[in-house]
Chain A
């Protein structure tokens, strides 16, 4: 058992700072894994490998969220072409069921915060044909 030098979250965020959407791959089971973790959830024994997604995918589901304060915004589940699913948003989406199945691509948006502990950019999606 090796000591954890950099957590899965830290590695993922390092990739985000390089504007890369990272995911993991299980060589034993030939399946993508997301969210990042230390143990293969498909039963593989070999360590999970880090890979970079091409950032293209399909809207699996989407909702328009109405916060208690502020403007509504879309929240989506995206199926990436490499075979993993993640929560994100689709810029410019209405958040309606008719948008399920549409193609999207990733882009990175800077997040505001204090300079010394600035969060990494967020991987958000735009329509593929946008």
Chain B
């Protein structure tokens, strides 16, 4: 069923920020990073904590993140939401925020995330839902889930490990243009191919980073967006799909729910893939980028390997993908969804310096949760797209 809400261009991102990233100071808590990011995102647009009356949050280390965060910040918002579909939560929360803004349930919505997954390694183990029928065979989750998808893609379409390595190298080349990126060291195709295996065909360099970090995004209704400090980044399209939780329950390992969430988002935005100037997709693993490029329509199904060859998604290539350096090279504190939105907004504001995509008017920010499970897609545009 199609509805008229949220409305195309009815709300906008007006403030974005990261917290400290990488390795944070000893004793820093996820709430500290959320608080730091929120303060910076509000300063970015010229609003204050006192203006915030809608709070949206997800965090793997916090069971009730909006309660913890309200307490930490000393605020009592009128509307809160902590829906949780893993790394895609933030795309979903942005749509919920848009609905709440349009319905008048709140007027300034903040979406926040924070994690100390790197610093807490050894003491914090992310909570996983156990599938009793899969667990005895000891898949190394989440990576084995993605490895099974990669192997299937190779079997069906002739995709190679070298194709996947192109994706890791492209992400690294973008990261080298982003001063905030965690790993900016040179990386070659051979480095990726020769890295130790984790779950074949995926090696260490096919896997995202493990870092600390947080981010925050401020959204308001379109009518309020114009008077603020930054150029509004309008929400043009949204779509969401979930079709399994365990990898053993995914109907077709090479056809993700991004095909459905993307189609919804494009329909709402009135755009198609070739209209998108900047692509941010959740790259938990190299195969993730490849699958989402196919499922979001940037190349035909099965052609992803050939599409990314030879630096095609690297700086100077034919399609700018994950211009921050992505989860593979910029940061990955456990859930990357919100960072795709931060980078999309910055690209559309034109403030990305060396990595800025020329004349970027439209961007897609796709979130992924679990093992290719929760899928949520956002499409953004500048005022010229309204």
- Using CB atoms and an 8 Å cutoff, list the residues of chain A in contact with chain B: 9, 12, 34-36, 60-67, 72-73, 75, 77, 85-89, 95-98, 100-101, 111, 119, 122
Q: Is B162 an interface residue (CB 8 A)?
A: no
In the bound complex, what is the Cα–Cα distance between A43 and B58 (angstroms)? 32
Q: Are B137 and A87 in contact (CB under 8 A)?
A: yes
In the bound complex, what is the Cα–Cα distance between A2 and B134 (angstroms)? 28
Known A9-B132, A61-B253, A77-B248; judge A66-B198 contact (CB<8 A).
Answer: yes
In the bound complex, what is the Cα–Cα distance between A119 and B137 (angstroms)? 13
In the bound complex, what is the Cα–Cα distance between A101 and B248 (angstroms)? 16
Report the interface size for chain B: residues with CB under 8 A from the other chain: 28
Which of chain B's residues have a CB closer than 8 A to the CB of A87?
131, 133-134, 137, 139, 247-248
Contact of B138 among A36, A75, A96, A100 (CB under 8 A): A75
Q: Are B137 and A61 in contact (CB under 8 A)?
A: no
Interface string of B358-369 (1 = CB under 8 A from A): 000000000000
Contact of B151 among A61, A73, A89 (CB under 8 A): A61
Q: Are B151 and A66 in contact (CB under 8 A)?
A: no
Known A87-B248, A97-B154, A101-B155; judge A64-B137 contact (CB<8 A).
Answer: no
Which of chain A's residues have a CB closer than 8 A to the CB of B27?
none
In residues 188-230 of chain B, which contact A (Cβ within 8 Å)? Answer: 196-202
Q: Is B121 an interface residue (CB 8 A)?
A: no
Closest to A98 in B: B155
Contact of B144 among A75, A86, A122 (CB under 8 A): A75
Which of chain A's residues have a CB closer than 8 A to the CB of B147?
63, 65
Closest to A78 in B: B248
In the bound complex, what is the Cα–Cα distance between A35 and B152 (angstroms)? 21
Contact of A66 among B131, B133, B136, B199 (CB under 8 A): B199
Nearest 9 interchain pairs by C-beta: A63-B147, A100-B155, A64-B200, A97-B154, A61-B148, A87-B134, A61-B152, A97-B151, A35-B133
Q: Are A65 and B151 in contact (CB under 8 A)?
A: no
Chain A: minimal CB distance from B102 (Å): 33
In the bound complex, what is the Cα–Cα distance between A66 and B202 (angstroms)? 10
Q: Are B152 and A66 in contact (CB under 8 A)?
A: no
In the bound complex, what is the Cα–Cα distance between A72 and B199 (angstroms)? 9
Q: Are A60 and B132 in contact (CB under 8 A)?
A: no
Chain B: minimal CB distance from A96 (Å): 7
Interface of A is mostly: mixed
Chain B: minimal CB distance from A80 (Å): 12
Known A97-B155, A101-B155; judge A88-B137 contact (CB<8 A).
Answer: yes
Q: Are A60 and B152 in contact (CB under 8 A)?
A: yes
Q: Are A62 and B148 in contact (CB under 8 A)?
A: yes
Among B133, B134, B198, B247, residue most surrounded by chain A Cβ atoms (within 10 Å): B133
Q: Are A75 and B197 in contact (CB under 8 A)?
A: no
Q: Are A63 and B148 in contact (CB under 8 A)?
A: yes
Q: Are A64 and B199 in contact (CB under 8 A)?
A: yes
In the bound complex, what is the Cα–Cα distance between A29 and B247 (angstroms)? 23
Known A61-B155, A61-B253, A87-B248; judge A67-B138 contact (CB<8 A).
Answer: yes
Closest to A100 in B: B155
Interface string of B122-144 (1 = CB under 8 A from A): 00000000011110111110001
The 22 listed contacts between A and B (C-beta, < 8 Å) are A12-B133, A34-B133, A35-B132, A35-B249, A61-B149, A62-B148, A63-B144, A63-B199, A64-B199, A65-B144, A66-B198, A66-B199, A66-B200, A75-B137, A75-B139, A77-B148, A87-B133, A95-B200, A96-B201, A97-B152, A97-B154, A98-B155
Q: Are B134 and A65 in contact (CB under 8 A)?
A: no
Contact of A89 among B137, B148, B152, B201 (CB under 8 A): B137
Q: Are B138 and A65 in contact (CB under 8 A)?
A: yes
Contact of B196 among A12, A66, A96 (CB under 8 A): A66
Q: Are B248 and A86 in contact (CB under 8 A)?
A: yes
Closest to A67 in B: B140
Closest to A64 in B: B200
Q: Are A65 and B149 in contact (CB under 8 A)?
A: no
Q: Are A63 and B200 in contact (CB under 8 A)?
A: yes
Q: 20 more A-B contacts (CB under 8 A) besides A60-B253, A87-B248? A: A61-B148, A61-B155, A61-B253, A63-B147, A64-B197, A64-B200, A65-B138, A65-B200, A66-B197, A66-B198, A66-B200, A75-B139, A75-B148, A77-B148, A87-B133, A87-B139, A89-B137, A96-B201, A101-B155, A111-B136
